[in-house]
């Protein structure tokens, strides 16, 4: 009996870290939506395609400022091509373009809006829509703008 318990414990600790993070139920709060989004960004920077795959719903779509559409498969392919150089560029961009985040939750839907920090006009830079499923927030849709250049 002790051997069986030990094998279960070893197998749990051997699972990828992203699995552990995804198996814990998230609360239905704005902070948990922001946390899910930040984890998503880090996973893309580090090339953790398993985490991104679990976070994005099958019907996920992202709309770029130029109007082009990227589905889940495209986002996963991009994540798999992560490099330390790209992560450095992303971190530099984010530090040079700080944002405020606001979350609105209505039932199982959360809308996370990023606006230019300190911009009195509150220009929307991007928006992520999450759906609460199976105890956690999962991404359904993203829309990005060129408002930062306006």
Question: Residue 126 sits in a domain of what CATH number?
Answer: 3.10.450.50
Say if 2 falls within a structural domain: no
Say if 17 falls within a structural domain: no
Domain of residue 118, residue span: 28-149
Instruction: Report which of 60, 34, 28 is spatially closest to residue 114, judged by C-alpha positions.
Output: 34
Q: What is the mean pLDDT of residues 40-49?
A: 94
Q: What's the pLDDT score for residue 139?
A: 98
Question: Which pair of structure tokens corresponds to residue 105?
Answer: 């939750």
Cβ proximity of 21 and 29 under 8 Å: no
Cβ proximity of 105 and 30 under 8 Å: yes
Strands 136-144 and 56-63: parallel
Q: How confident is the model at residue 150 (pLDDT cuts 50, 70, 90)?
A: low
Say if 110 falls within a structural domain: yes
Say if 52 falls within a structural domain: yes
Q: What is the mean pLDDT of residues 20-33?
A: 79
Q: What's the total number of domains in the chain? A: 1
pTM of the model: 0.78
Say if 73 falls within a structural domain: yes
How far is the C-alpha of 40 from the C-alpha of 3, rounded, in Å?
37
Task: Report percent pLDDT > 70 for the chain.
Answer: 81
Instruction: Report which of 70, 35, 72, 31 is spatially closest to residue 54, judged by C-alpha positions.
Output: 72
Say if 22 falls within a structural domain: no
Measured torsion, CA atoms of residues 87, 82, 138, 58, in degrees rounded to the nearest 10 = 150
State the helix-helix crossing angle for 84-96 and 30-46, rounded to 10 degrees. Answer: 140
Cβ proximity of 136 and 57 under 8 Å: no
User: How far does Cα 10 stand from its chain's mean position?
Assistant: 29
Q: What is the mean pLDDT of residues 1-24?
A: 39
Say if 10 falls within a structural domain: no
Cβ proximity of 25 and 135 under 8 Å: yes
Say if 16 falls within a structural domain: no
Q: Is 74 a residue whose pLDDT tops 50?
A: yes
């Amino acid at each position: 009996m002790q051997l069986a318990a030990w094998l279960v414990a070893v197998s749990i600790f051997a699972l990828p870290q992203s699995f552990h993070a995804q198996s814990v139920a998230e609360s239905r709060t704005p902070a948990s939506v922001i946390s899910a989004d930040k984890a998503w960004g880090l996973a893309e920077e580090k090339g953790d395609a398993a985490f991104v795959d679990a976070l994005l719903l099958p019907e996920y779509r992202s709309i770029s400022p130029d109007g082009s559409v990227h589905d889940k498969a495209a986002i996963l392919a991009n994540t798999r091509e992560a490099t330390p150089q790209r992560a450095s560029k992303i971190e530099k961009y984010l530090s040079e373009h700080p944002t405020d985040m606001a979350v609105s939750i209505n039932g199982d839907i959360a809308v996370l809006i990023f606006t230019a920090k300190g911009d009195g006009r509150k220009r929307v830079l991007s928006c992520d829509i999450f759906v609460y499923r199976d105890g956690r927030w999962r991404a359904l849709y993203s829309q990005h703008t060129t408002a930062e250049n306006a």
